[in-house]
């Protein structure tokens, strides 16, 4: 994977050279994220095979205080798709991970504290099973691109309406960064509770390069709001990051089927209670634009999975609506 890293680094370096010196405050940010196992050069189509995320954020009308310096409000519409190991063989006996989809709408808030800590909270509602429309999206994509027809969706898990809450906390271990500092280290904790996913994780986030403090960083969708430009240390953010995590899961509806239905589907699996995952990536932001490319390695989350999984993510964000 050294080649994609070098290519992405070259792109960011060129963008940084052409960044303009003038800056402007922006009120809104819209981003689109595409996740796919082929982005990690697996040359397969399995496990977490595709994810599409539409995200909108803006500063919230939330009163700040001596500790709380900024609050960001966000909405997200997303679809996630899970299949077996390879689309070339969908016979019943060879399906090593249940077919399932998850479609959801999420409302969130991000709280930024003066010490550099970040708290993200969200509530979401959605649907698993046929209502997620994962089968239709994959069938359309394979037809449009000439890929082989996927037949395993006849075995997909049954679904149900879902409701969940989540929280993420990033604790800044090194304090607010000075302009000359190139390293940031966070202790991280995530938790999800609901009938789609119930899990928790702990890890660390390491950044190296030119980054802003969290309350002004595009990494947290915080490069918007009145006065943001005046607090920026650099004209552009360009950094690499690494995020290892240990995960414990109690329930996963995309593996075990719907929580509140006795008929969960034709093929289900037990879950791996504890597993390891890590993400490494490159992040760039300047004026209106944000570009993030990262790759994720993940141990088996279903007991029946034959292989570990890898997938990549490409995210493009655009800020607009100047603050006067």
> Which residue range(s) make up the domain with 152?
2-322
Using CA atoms, how far apart are residues 221 and 70, in angstroms rounded to an integer? 11
Closest by CA to 173, choosing from 165, 163, 181, 161, is 181
For CA atoms 18, 21, 24, 26, give the dihedral sign: positive
Who has greater pLDDT, 140 or 220? 220
E-assigned strands of 24-144?
26-36, 47-59, 68-83, 100-113, 118-128
- Running DSSP on this structure, what letter comes out for residue 18? T
Contact 194, 164 (CB under 8 A): yes
Using CA atoms, how far apart are residues 251 and 263, in angstroms rounded to an integer? 16
4 pLDDT above the threshold of 70 = no
Torsion of CA 119, 120, 121, 124, to 10 degrees: -170
Using CA atoms, how far apart are residues 210 and 22, in angstroms rounded to an integer? 18
Q: What is the mean pLDDT of the chain?
A: 89
- Total domains present in the chain: 1
92 pLDDT above the threshold of 80 = no
Per-residue model confidence as pLDDT tens digits over 26-36: 999 999 999 99
Question: 């119930």: which residue's tokens?
Answer: 198
- What number of helices (H) and strands (E) belong to the chain? 4, 12
Q: Where on the phi/psi map is residue 199: left (φ > 0), alpha (ψ -120 to 50), or beta?
A: beta
Per-residue model confidence as pLDDT tens digits over 242-281: 999 999 999 999 999 999 999 999 999 999 999 999 999 9
Using CA atoms, how far apart are residues 101 and 89, in angstroms rounded to an integer? 19
Percent of the chain clearing pLDDT 90 (strictly above): 71
Closest by CA to 297, choosing from 282, 306, 307, is 307
Residue 6: pLDDT band with limits 50, 70, 90: very low
Using CA atoms, how far apart are residues 295 and 293, in angstroms rounded to an integer? 7
CATH number reported for the structural domain that contains residue 177 in this entry? 2.40.128.140
Among 13-17, 58-62, 83-87, 192-196, the range with the most confident prediction by mean pLDDT is: 192-196
Count CB atoms within 10 A of the CB of residue 16: 16
């Amino acid at each position: 994977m050294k080649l994609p890293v070098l290519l992405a680094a070259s792109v960011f370096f060129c963008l940084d050279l052409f960044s303009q010196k003038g800056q402007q405050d922006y009120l809104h940010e819209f981003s689109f994220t595409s996740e796919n196992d082929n982005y990690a050069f697996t040359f397969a189509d399995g496990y977490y095979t595709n994810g599409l995320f539409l995200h909108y954020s803006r500063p919230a009308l939330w009163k700040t205080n001596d500790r709380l310096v900024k609050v960001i409000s966000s909405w997200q519409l997303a679809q996630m798709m899970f299949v077996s190991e390879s689309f070339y063989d969908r016979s019943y006996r060879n399906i090593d991970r249940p077919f399932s989809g998850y479609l959801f709408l999420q409302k969130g808030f991000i709280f930024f504290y003066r010490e550099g800590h970040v708290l993200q909270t969200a509530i979401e509602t959605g649907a698993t099973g046929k209502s997620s429309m994962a089968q239709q999206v994959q069938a359309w994509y394979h037809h449009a691109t000439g890929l082989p027809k996927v037949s395993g969706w006849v075995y997909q898990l049954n679904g149900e309406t879902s409701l969940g809450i989540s929280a993420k906390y990033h604790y800044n271990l090194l304090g607010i960064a000075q302009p000359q500092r190139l390293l940031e280290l966070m202790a991280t904790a995530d938790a999800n509770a609901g009938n789609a996913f119930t899990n928790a994780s702990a890890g660390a986030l390491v950044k190296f390069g030119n980054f802003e403090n969290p309350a002004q960083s595009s990494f947290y969708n915080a490069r918007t709001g009145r006065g943001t430009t005046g607090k920026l240390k650099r004209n552009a953010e360009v950094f690499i990051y690494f995020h290892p995590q240990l995960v414990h899961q109690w329930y996963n509806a995309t593996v075990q089927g719907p929580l509140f239905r006795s008929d969960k589907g034709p093929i289900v699996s037990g879950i791996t209670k504890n597993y390891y995952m890590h993400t490494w990536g490159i992040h760039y932001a300047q004026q209106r634009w944000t570009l993030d490319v990262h790759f994720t390695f993940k141990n088996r989350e279903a007991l029946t999975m034959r292989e570990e999984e890898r997938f990549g993510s490409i995210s493009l964000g655009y800020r607009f609506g100047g603050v006067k």
